[in-house]
Chain A
């Protein structure tokens, strides 16, 4: 099995401040990594995915960016937060080391409130 760590778990930030959410994965190597956002009352929206170190694909134009400095580390950032960036951010990883079934495993999430 694998474990996905996200921190911080909860964050309250003023508009215009920077953001850094971190995700690390244990128990696997060379995973595909994903950042999803879940806004209040809405479904999960894919923000970024990464198939390897330094490889980032963005799904929607937005105020956020992502980086993957290490194989099992995925970071979500912003230089200046907007009110609309509030939401529940989830990091996900797929299983590797055997046949890749595409099954995704999620962390416990980071709840961001922008005031």
Chain B
């Protein structure tokens, strides 16, 4: 059974600081890995998708890396802003489904 772990569970930083969110998974036979953002009481917004053959993906201030062999992914958010405050979820896709971590709740202080 795939287990996904996210560290840290919560993070508070001043505006402008770079964010580093970590994700690890136990079964490296994944099809892809996704990072999502969830605002309180809302659904999930897809941020980045990394295929199993890729090492990283970038979108604006966001960059995600994938090391499939070691079962790790890292999401970097550059120059954080208060609007980046949310819960960030990592999920890996195999066997027709996504398995999620518990998330990292980020607070960016103005």
Contact = CB atoms under 8 A, between A and B. Distances in A.
Interface string A80-115: 000000001010100000000111111111010000
Contacts, number: 57
A105 B46 contact: yes
Contacts of B102: 42-43
A11 interface: no
A49 B42 contact: no
B103 A102 contact: no
Given A42-B102, A101-B51, A34 B97 contact: yes
10 contacts: A34-B98, A42-B102, A51-B96, A90-B44, A92-B98, A101-B49, A102-B32, A106-B45, A108-B43, A109-B43
Interface of A: 6, 32, 34, 36, 42-44, 46, 49, 51, 57, 59, 88, 90, 92, 101-109, 111
